[in-house]
Amino acid sequence: MSTSLRLILPCIALVLFALAADLVASVVGPPDPATATTPALVDAEREPFAAQPEALLSVGTGFGVLLLGAWLLGKFAAQLGLSKITGFLVFGILVGPYTLEVISLEQMEYLKLVNGLAIALIALTAGSEIHVPFIKKFGKAITYISVIEMGIVMVLITVLMEFMLHADDSPVVRFGGEGAAFWVALSIGTIAAANSPAVVIAIITETGARGVMAQTGLAVTVVKDLLTIIAFAVVLALAGAGIQRAAEQREGYIEAHPEYAETHPEEMALMESPETSDAAGTEGAKADASGEKKESIGVYLLKHVPGSMGAGVLVAGLMAFAALKVGAALPIVLIAASFAITLLSTALGLEPLIVGLTAGFLMSNFFGARLAHFFETVEELSMPVYAVFFSLAGCKVDPSVVQAVWHYVLALVVLRAIGTAAGCWIGGKLGRVERPARDWVWASLIPQAGIALALTQKIATEFAHWPFMEKVYAIMLSAVAVHELIGPLIFKFALGRAGEINPDADTKGGAGAH
Amino acid sequence: MEIFLAIVAVAALGLAATSQPAYRLRRSRAVAGLLSTGWPALVIGLLLGPHVSGLIDESSLIDATPLLMIGLGWIGVIVGLQLRREVLEALPRRIVGFTVIDVVITGVVFAVVAWLGLRAWTDGQRPAELWAGMVLIASTAVAWSMETRSVRPAGESNAVQRASLAIRAGGALGAVAAIAAFGIGAALTRRLDDGIVRFDVPAAGVRLALTAVLAIALGIFGRYFLRVAGKQREHELVVFLGVVVFAAGVSAQLGLSPMLGAMLTGAVIANLGSTDLRAFERFVLKAEHTVAVFFSVLAGVLLEPRIGAGGLALVGAIVAARLIVKPLVSRAGYTLAEDDDDGPVSERPQRGLVGLRLACARQSPIAVALAVGLVLAEPSAFNQKLLAVVAFAGLACELLVLGVAAAERITTGDEMEETASA
């Protein structure tokens, strides 16, 4: 049997086993409170209680399937010369709630704890990969590439989306007018500029890549993450006024075209529902445009960048102290600290990625070899965490949505790639980055994942009251999904072309002793 | 936020447990005994939980369900790995006899005690409703803590060493019996769609058969995955976590104890024979302490301490029954375990023998895990009280036995000898 079959067959068997267990559990397992006929249960003391939802009882099975299946498919992907991350993502798509339904949406909710752990580990690793001497040498190039690439991508995608929204006689224009169309397009443009340090760091770790391209790519994705977060906050703040104008235009349009209400009853019903009218009403828009909102944006930015960095300094100090003291209990410290970074940052309104990045950067650069064992532990824990994190990300992809808006998505992906390549080439040239790194660094900016998804979700929430939002959301989500899938492929290919892959690294993922 | 506090608390505990002062404290036998069975962590969990300080909300434990599942699976696999054919064949028949005596006598006595206690507590609830509780209490009474250092005298004779060995081996076998008894027993009832608990033997048969199939399949997969992982630690971690959580997860999904599926899987892996197995065992055992601390804290958070008079009466009955039944069992067991060359242990004056005889009255750490499994499947207030009953009875027995052993050492001068040598 070939090595590939040795990886694929157990993967299929695992999925079939989970499906069989699900089937048997639905017949002889405990009743699901969601479908059970008796809503009020009592215990032996006749005290009422709520039964565990089926999704919670089966969360262990889901976790196990994701972990083992993604790992096997990741190894299979590596056999094919692809990135393991691609394998993890594809496995997530296959077993996710929109395809085979081995993992349900409810189960994904119960597994969100893994995301917190993953984000912190990724940030710590990414921070540790950025070294002061490198920044001194390539700081100018990193700045040029980040700013120029981001600017070009934002402009290109905004223009493209404006054009497409008009050309398609989209409800965005019909409903919201020019203002809404512009803000929607700019929002998509901002999200298009987002990258995925998680994918980049995962592939650098996987391939053991060392070189100018890998380090520049990583540094640029990190810097661009900061810039994207800032730009996004500014776009959202400015959108307040745009929404105000759009709301007025919409009302004017409906008054001038009374027949519209008759031909579009569903949209009218949606707009007239109390929830929608509250959100879309001028009250909300006025509040958005008010000084109060602007002040909160200022606080938001202050927290997100300097605040998060400050927290990162504190975390670095505490973690370094603990790592130097504990010895054998290091995994406990690391897991607890990772959860703490994510959960406490979220609670305080900080950005966990920046906190972790700062901590990782400081620990790596100022404690050096004394904390080598700490980063070895991070690397050991990375494999299971990445497998679950990226396969969960894959679970979120709905292939039918991608199919419905594929022409928008195709245009967006192609233009973004062109903009990214052009921006990186110009920035690299100005920053005097040598070839082949200059030719290939753009590939590190293709992957998108967590941050882009989070911003997409934010936009969807902000514009939830617009009837066209469903379609716009589908475009953005599909574009992120496509970048999530093709990004690792392109980046790994580019690392190979730049000659930076470590040949001794575990990139083949073969069947061990076989 | 609550789960953050839980995790930080666990981390602090983990750090404290591995710190220098903790190591110094562990030189004291009584403290070592308490720490090894996880009671301090459980008490801290109780203090952090919703019924005392309220720092950790009950609902936040839902977020920790995958972690609980890993914990239960981990314990199940560790117990299952002990069932290697060569080990079982090498085990003296006397030890097996000792365990059988314990399982039969304890099972019967505690089933009766639990049945009467639960009937009185719940004002005559239907048999099916009380069945799982009865099986839980009877199963948790089987076996005992395998830690013997805290109950042994400083100067040890061969007979005392053999008795200690009998306690450790019997405790390990008893843990297997306890998990199997609870897993099979509790499977006989289930809550049907109308919300009423009923005996359902055919469904239990199907679920148990499927769990056995799962264990065999997962055992074979597990061994295969280990070979695929090679010797890379991060890949081994994926395989171990995946196997553990999958086995526990499918069992829970089928309405069975998560530890049963995991234990069977561990047993299958142990008996498939592989050079990777030793590395796998080392890997598993390395994290034992961490998992135990983490798990004990979560158990402390889950339990409902307000058990009322009925619950307290049941705790009292369990403690009394343990202190009466277990020394008798241990006496019979030591007689079986003794060596003819040294003469009967029971007839020779032995220092520390009282503590050793009472050692079997200490509760197995498996007991709390079994109760947590029940709460995880059905988090009713009653099941949380059952968890408290099991925990309180175990703690009371622990303190009584360690107290007696310490007093005996002081009386015989062992404690002073030990302190002087330290």
- Could you read off the pLDDT tens digit of each residue along chain B, which spans 422 residues? 555 555 566 566 656 655 667 666 666 766 766 666 677 778 888 887 888 777 777 666 677 777 788 888 888 988 888 888 888 888 888 888 888 888 899 999 999 999 999 999 988 788 888 999 999 999 999 888 877 777 766 666 676 777 778 888 888 889 999 999 999 998 898 888 777 888 888 888 988 998 888 888 888 888 888 888 877 778 888 888 888 889 888 888 888 888 999 999 989 888 876 666 666 676 666 667 667 777 788 888 888 999 999 999 999 999 999 999 988 887 776 666 555 454 444 444 455 566 777 888 888 888 989 999 898 888 888 999 999 999 999 989 988 888 888 777 777 665 545 555 54
Alpha helices in B230-365 (DSSP H): 233-253, 258-272, 276-286, 288-302, 308-337, 353-358
| Chain B residue closest in CA terms to A10 | B221
Q: Which two tokens stand for residue A249?
A: 């235009």
CB contact under 8 A, A68 and B243: yes
The answer to whether B249 contacts A63, with C-beta atoms less than 8 Å apart, is yes
Residue to test with chain B: of A91, A112, A383, most B Cβ within 10 A: A383
What's at B338, amino acid-wise?
E
Residues of B in contact with A335 (CB under 8 A): 7, 11
Q: Does A298 touch chain B (CB under 8 A)?
A: no
Q: Which of A61, A84, A108 is the mutation pick for testing B, counting most B CBs within 10 A?
A: A61
What is the distance in angstroms between the Cα of A329 and the nearest Cα belonging to chain B?
7
Alpha-carbon distance B15 to nearest alpha carbon in chain A (angstroms): 7
What is residue B9's predicted lDDT score, i.e. its pLDDT?
A: 62
A352 contacts in chain B (CB < 8 Å): none
CB under 8 Å to A102, separation ≥6 — which residues?
A15, A18, A19, A22, A62, A65, A95, A96
Q: Residue A347, exposed/middle/buried by CB under 10 A (0-12, 13-18, 19+)?
A: exposed
Confidence tier at A121 by pLDDT (50, 70, 90):
confident
Contact A125, A80 (CB under 8 A): no
Distance CA A24, CA A169 (A): 50
Q: Which residues of A60-98 are buried (b: 16+ CB within 10 A; e: fewer)?
A: bbbbbbbbbbbbbbbbbbbbeebbbbbbbbbbbbbbbbe
Q: Give the ipTM.
A: 0.82
Gap between the Cα atoms of B297 and B46, Å rounded: 7
Say what the pLDDT of residue B386 is: 94
Q: Helical H runs in A273-398?
A: 274-280, 282-289, 291-302, 308-326, 330-348, 352-367, 372-395
Contacts of A18 in chain B (CB under 8 A): 250
Q: Chain A 17-36, CB below 8 Å of chain B: which residues?
A: 17-18, 21-22, 24-25, 28-31, 36
Measure the CA–CA gap between A189 and A416, rounded to whole angstroms: 9
Percentage above 70 pLDDT, chain A: 78
The Cα–Cα gap between A59 and A69 comes to 15
**Structure confidence by residue, pLDDT tens digits, A471-480:** 777 788 788 8
Radius of gyration of chain A (CA): 24
Interface test with A, best of B188, B235, B238, B280 (most A CBs within 10 A): B238
**CA-based torsion, A64, A65, A71, A75: positive or negative:** positive
Higher pLDDT, B96 or A51: B96
For residue A413, which amino acid is it?
Answer: V
Torsion A457-A460-A463-A465 (CA) sign: negative
Dihedral of CA atoms B31, B34, B38, B44 in degrees, nearest 10, equals: -70
φ and ψ at residue B276, rounded to 5 degrees: -75, -15
Q: What is the pLDDT at residue A274?
A: 44
Question: Which pLDDT score, from 0 to 100, does residue B184 have?
Answer: 93
Determine whether the interchain pair A36/B253 forms a contact, defined as Cβ–Cβ distance below 8 Å.
no
Given this model, what pLDDT does residue A176 score?
Answer: 56
3-state class of A104 per DSSP? coil
Q: Looking at beta carbons, which residues of chain B come within 8 Å of A22?
A: 253
In the chain, the amino acid numbered A152 is I
Residue B191, beta-bridge partner list: B197
| Residue B288 to residue B270: CA distance in whole angstroms | 18
pLDDT digits (tens, 9 = 90+) for A382-434: 888 888 888 887 887 778 877 777 888 888 899 999 999 998 889 888 888 78
What's the per-residue H, E or C state across A62-81?
HHHHHHHHHHHHHHHHHHCC
Q: Cis omega before residue A33 (within 30°)?
A: no
Residues of chain A above pLDDT 90, percent: 5
State whether A60 and B194 contact (CB < 8 Å): no
> CB-CB: which of B4, B238, B249 is closest to A383?
B238
Residue B261 C-alpha, separation from nearest chain A C-alpha, in angstroms: 12
Q: Which of A28, A29, A328 lies closest to B18 in CB terms?
A: A328
**What is the distance in angstroms between the Cα of B154 and the nearest Cα belonging to chain A?**
29
Kindly tell me if the per-residue pLDDT of A355 is higher than 80. yes
pLDDT for res B299:
85
- Give residue A272's pLDDT band: very low, low, confident or very high (50, 70, 90): low
**C-alpha to C-alpha distance for A386 and B233, rounded to whole angstroms:** 15
pLDDT at A171 over 80: no
Nearest-CA distance A70 → chain B (Å): 10
Cβ distance A43 to B382 less than 8 Å, yes or no, reads yes
